Amino acid sequence: MLSKVDPRVLKRLNIEKKDHGIDLLLKHVDGRYAALQCKFTNDQSKKNLTWTGSRLSSWLAASTKSDIRILFTNASGVSLAVKNKASEKEYHQFSYSDLASLAQDEVQAILDSIHNRKPQRIVFKPRDHQREAIKSVTSKFKKFDRGKLILPCGSGKTLTSLWIKEKLRPGKTLVLVPSLSLLRQFKNDWKAQEKNRSEFFCVCSESDIAGKDSVEESVAELAAKVTTDHLEIRGLLGKKNDLVVYSTYQSSPQIAKAMENTKLKFDLVVCDEAHRTAGEKLSNFATVLDDKKIKASKRLFMTATPRIVSDKIKNNEEAYNYLYDMSNEDHYGPEFFALNFGDAIARKPAFLSDYKILAVGVEDEELKKWIKERKIAKNTTIDEIANNFALDKVMKKVGATHALTFHSRVSSAKEFCERHQEMYPRSNVWHVSGKQSSNERALVLDDFKGKKKGIVANARCLTEGVDVPAIDLVYFCDPKNSKIDIVQATGRALRKSPGKKLGYIVVPIFHKNKDEVEDAIDSGVFKNLITVIRAMADQDSRIEEEILRVKYGKGKRRKSSPIADLNLAEAKIIELTGFEVGLKKSLFSQAISKSVVKWRPYKWAQKFASSCSLKSAKQWYRLCANGGKPEDIPQSPDRIYSEEWKGWGEFLGTGNIANYNKVFQTFEESRKFVQSLNLSGQKEWFKYRKSGKLPDDIPRAPETTYKEEWKGYGDFLGTNVIAPRLRKYRPFKESRAFVRSLNLKGSTDWKEFRKSDKRPEDIPTNPHIVYKNEWEGMGDFLGTRTVAPQLRKYQSFGNARAFAKKLKLGNAKEWYRFCKEGKKPEDIPQSPDRIYKKEWKGWGDFLGTGNIAAQQKKFRSFKDARSFVRSLKLKSETEWRKYSKSEQKPSDIPSTPSFSYKEEWKGWGDFLGTGNVQTQKKQFVSFSKAKAFVKKHGIKSQSQWREYCRSGKVPPNIPKKPEKVYKDQWKGIGDFLGTGVIAPRLREYRSFSEARKFVRRLKLKNKKQWKEFCDSGKLPRDIPKAPHLVFKTNWLSWADWLGY
């Protein structure tokens, strides 16, 4: 092959024509040369085979001047020494896992190329749910610059995001993923399906691998340009426009660094497994959320499992400020499109398999009998054996063929695998971990797929985004799985495959034959079941519906115990197998109460509410605040039961019907009835409707019910009084002519006239509102020629100032006095500083006195002014004020230096040179030392402390107002002085219900007896004397508090 290469190229690369390890020389489109070596083994059983330096030394030596090194092999890879040597150049490695992952069409494309045939690409088309997602996302990007795409595992998020990108046609795109393996997979999927080939490079490194059972990959396996050098990234971003950057979140700070102080900007950022960005704001994973670090026009956050911060943390403002939360639309935008497991399974055709959650019970006696018949290693615990036993049992029961088991530790997964092999020697069981090479994992998964029945144990490396063979069962052994990990792992069992009807999510529960229910419930494995149900309930609304069906059946009220009432025949998704019936019902009951605190059906909630004898919504909310309702009845039933809601009257059983559900008489019928009452006005109407005599079919607020026909209460009551806004008035000119004929002298005369009987009804009382478009002021309307200040036309600023200067006035006070004398022309404003804002330079300029406004003056520098003032030896701010008013103060020294020199200002003590320091700038001792100081001086009360502060003996490092200086630690003056007295507002009291329970036991009959008890000294410190103030939100009455 090398004999056909241009000799000048060989000479430049220092390569001899005779083959010395380089099998092929490739020329890159950018002009660089790659030296390629093919190294194959015939023995595929040696899955851990790695090539050492002795087998590749010729290639390494011959390629020292090549720009790129490429190795093709069907082995696991190369030794660390070879990898380090090869990586001195840009290095790419294609090994067994790459060859094993080639699809049939890709192999055919290679064969076509060899035979000079045009390769036929298989191009995928979006499925229905993907088309909906693409349409929704692209549409919402017109309004928002960021948003969330929520799709379940196995729904094709990767290709959906590619099609979204192609619809948006961005110039520069950034794709962020949490691992090298995902980066490799994402890049390969995009490259295989993109319509137009985009330039691309990767930003990542092998140091990005971190965490429990993280999958180890080599950047050499990415088959791409890889860098983390921010200067190189900057250069690459600046060169191309149609460009895709694939990066790990861990390396994203390097992209941010590359963009610093540049105009570089991404048109689109795609964040895969975006739940990983939520959490600590300082994390590298959160870099993409900061607009200042990574500039982008649009951001798309994709995940199956949004990470939402708990309400407890949200309520802790200090902690919440340090976290990113996917429910916060400021950071993540709104949901552009969302599809959960339940919706995906319900689709026709479904693209995910349906599933069951199985809790498999293993009894102590059953297991002991099994162990007795077999020899099991003595260092194995019965609980561990139970896990393997339960898996074998459930796989046989449901006919599962391929299972993944998830463990809290890598070592646990490995031990499970070894134990299963010992217990069931004929089984096919493997263990994979992130520490294995990608080739080792590929070989294991190939073997697993090829067997009729098999099990793979792992900790976490097969959960997130990794494409694995069709699985029909996932098995959670340990109670330490997060909800996100559970959902991600479950996604492996829901992928469609030929012949699969259901996927199974299995949790083993080992229990003694005569276990108390509580013991089983408190066990870690039962908590594991609860976590699994909670995690899946977040993704599938059918689980909530099933729990309600099991709990309430078909809606018939049963009178036996809640546990006996459970209708387990209604359970279709959650199944408990291997338990005695009583225990099964008890466990299911606890699963219901602990899994999802959702709402009972409306009819049962309404029955409870009507049994409480409440009269209004206000009383209902008070009942809720006092803890008087079951957890599964909502506080806001009108919102939760919006579809069935017919008003508070029906819900509480009062019989009152909400206005919007009432059927009223027609407007004419209602008006006829009301006019027959001969009411004189609105006041009598309001009195009548409160009397209880108003028929149900006459509305209390007719102006709302009959708003289209409404002409005012005068029309409705028959008094013929018309509301002002509905009256017809004379035209403006006619009204003005009439009013002017009255010769009224001003507004006071007008007010008296409009209240009198002389005003015609077609002359408005508020002409400035009725005739607002023609209105030119009351002077114009009355004919007095007085014009409102805001409507007047004034002389120019220059003319006004010239007039004012002629008056020789000394200050603004004299100007206002002159204005009051009535000598000022109408076209000169009384307040020139307001009318001539733009030209205004101060009263000195306007009156011609030469005085300059403080904001216009030029003062000495702060240091010069301070030096001058210190030379005056003034003792206080009071002395300074007195001095500044005298004629002795130079004009270039400000009267208010704290304002003029606010940036340099350090207080009066500094400016005057007295040495006094402002309280907020003093250095005080710590809170504990201040308390010790006070205790040492024997100060026992607030009055003694005040007296001591006035004595002048307080050291400068002890504050006179400790409550302000130590506000974060402050618990009251009693705590500070060490008397033990705590201010009532700072005390911690029992909860309302606990306090009320204690008080009712006292059997007090009235408020007077309560006061006597409080004064007796027997009242515990954690119960307030004024409960009606402390427990405002819960308070009903003294009768309720005392229980009489």
pLDDT digits (tens, 9 = 90+) for 6-40: 888 888 888 876 656 888 888 888 889 998 999 88
Question: What are 438-497's pLDDT values in tens digits?
Answer: 777 888 888 888 899 999 998 878 775 456 657 899 999 877 667 788 888 888 888 888
Specify the range with the lowest mean pLDDT, choosing from 267-281, 404-418, 584-598: 584-598
pLDDT at 514 over 70: no
User: Which residue pairs from 769-772 have beta carbons closer than 8 angstroms and sit at least 24 positions apart in sequence?
Assistant: 770/729, 771/732, 771/735
> What is the per-residue pLDDT for 613?
86
pLDDT at 565 over 70: no
Distance CA 186, CA 270 (A): 11
pLDDT at 257 over 90: yes
Strands 354-363 and 243-248, bridge-based pairing:
unpaired
Question: What are 195-213's pLDDT values in tens digits?
Answer: 988 999 999 988 765 555 4
pLDDT at 47 over 60: no
Determine contact, residues 921/959, Cβ cutoff 8 Å: no
> What is the per-residue pLDDT for 167?
95
DSSP 85: H
Question: What are 850-866's pLDDT values in tens digits?
Answer: 666 555 667 889 899 89
Residues 6 or more apart in contact with residue 468 via CB below 8 angstroms: 404, 445, 462, 492
* pLDDT band for position 133 (cuts 50, 70, 90): very high
Amino acid 926 reads S
- Among residues 352, 192, 153, the alpha carbon closest in space to that of 272 is found at 153
Determine contact, residues 149/141, Cβ cutoff 8 Å: no
More confident call, 421 vs 498: 421
Q: Which residues pair with 72 in a beta bridge?
A: 38, 94
Q: What does the pLDDT average to over 625-650?
A: 82
Distance CA 638, CA 661 (A): 14
Q: Which CATH superfamily is domain 344-595 in?
A: P-loop containing nucleotide triphosphate hydrolases (3.40.50.300)
pLDDT at 429 over 90: yes
Kindly tell me the burial class for residue 920, based on how many C-beta atoms sit within 10 Å of its own C-beta (0-12, 13-18, 19 or more): exposed
Q: What does the pLDDT average to over 174-193?
A: 91
Strands 335-338 and 146-150, bridge-based pairing:
parallel
> What is the per-residue pLDDT for 984?
61
Specify the range with the lowest mean pLDDT, choosing from 103-112, 313-322, 646-655: 313-322
Residues 6 or more apart in contact with residue 860 via CB below 8 angstroms: 868, 892, 893
Question: What are 977-1012's pLDDT values in tens digits?
Answer: 887 666 666 677 888 888 888 998 898 888 889 888
Q: Which CATH class is domain 128-339?
A: alpha beta
More confident call, 203 vs 80: 203
- Locate tokens 């040696």: which residue? 46
Q: Which residues pair with 51 in a beta bridge?
A: 78
* pLDDT band for position 399 (cuts 50, 70, 90): very high
Radius of gyration of the chain from its Cα atoms, rounded to whole angstroms: 42
Report the chain's mean pLDDT, rounded to a whole number: 82
- H or E element that contains 301: strand 299-303
- Do the domains spanning 128-339 and 344-595 agree at the CATH topology level? yes
* pLDDT band for position 396 (cuts 50, 70, 90): very high
- H or E element that contains 177: strand 172-177
Per-domain boundaries in the chain = 2-94, 128-339, 344-595, 602-660, 662-726, 732-791, 797-855, 857-920, 922-985, 987-1042
* pLDDT band for position 338 (cuts 50, 70, 90): very high
Strands 243-248 and 199-203, bridge-based pairing:
parallel
Half-sphere exposure (CA, 13 Å, Cβ side) for 573? Answer: 21
Distance CA 12, CA 35 (A): 13
Residues 6 or more apart in contact with residue 737 via CB below 8 angstroms: none
> What is the per-residue pLDDT for 564?
45
Best-predicted range by mean pLDDT (335-344, 591-600, 723-732, 822-831):
335-344
More confident call, 243 vs 552: 243
Tokens describing residue 1028: 């009606």
